[in-house]
Amino acid sequence: DQQVKQNSPSLSVQEGRISILNCDYTNSMFDYFLWYKKYPAEGPTFLISISSIKDKNEDGRFTVFLNKSAKHLSLHIVPSQPGDSAVYFCAASDTGGFKTIFGAGTRLFVKA
Amino acid sequence: DSGVTQTPKHLITATGQRVTLRCSPRSGDLSVYWYQQSLDQGLQFLIQYYNGEERAKGNILERFSAQQFPDLHSELNLSSLELGDSALYFCASSSAGGMEDTQYFGPGTRLTVL
């Protein structure tokens, strides 16, 4: 039972354009959401997060949008850079239940 | 460099064997998490410790066990290994162990079971 789904295994974007990575979740108890980025041969690194009381959080080129009614969040990267090429994991936390579930990841390719 | 260290980096062993993976958290972090990433899979949460005590348990098999020692380093023990246990095992740490805390990941241990 996949509670956090990233339905696109990969995404290719031209440098300078917007990258949009999507994530869906099924558990309404999730109240905190995170995105991690992972380069080959390294562990994931935290990128940005959002609490369920917000619908948007921005940090430089990265913005996360949360649509609670649709149980959907997305990560926007503008403008995309070749160094953004990595695997992006969406994660959802049930802060009361001490549970964090990760999605399967989306591999982003940013072409120069 | 996240500050989280994991040893060994690679481990090759045979079915039925037992291995121990080691993790040292970032200085000052009290909580340690273990994750498994199989081929083309996401990160599967295994278990979390906070200051030596088990805090949360995920999809950890009974053949697997973990502990966090007084110096806060942690070990993940995998026994009666099967081919399907081949995966990347990540350790992460956070300061207080809350689900809103940023988790800092180590580089992982790649386990290959032949």
Cis peptide before B107 (omega within 30 of 0): no
Least Cα distance to A108 among A17, A5, A21, A15 occurs for A21
pLDDT tens for each residue of A37-66: 999 889 999 999 999 999 999 999 999 999
Count CB-CB contacts under 10 A for residue B78: 24
Least Cα distance to B21 among B111, B112, B113 occurs for B111
- The CA distance from B101 to the nearest CA of chain A, in Å, is 10
A99 and B99 within 8 Å at the Cβ level: the answer is: yes
Q: Closest residue of A to B38, CA-based? A: A104
Supply the DSSP string of A45-87, one letter for each residue. Answer: EEEEEEETT-SEEEETTEEEEEETTTTEEEEEESS--GGG-EE
- Residues in chain A, overall count: 112
Each residue's pLDDT, cut to its tens digit, for chain B (114 residues) gives: 889 999 999 999 999 999 999 999 999 999 999 999 987 677 898 999 999 999 988 889 999 999 999 999 999 999 999 999 999 999 999 988 777 788 999 999 999 999
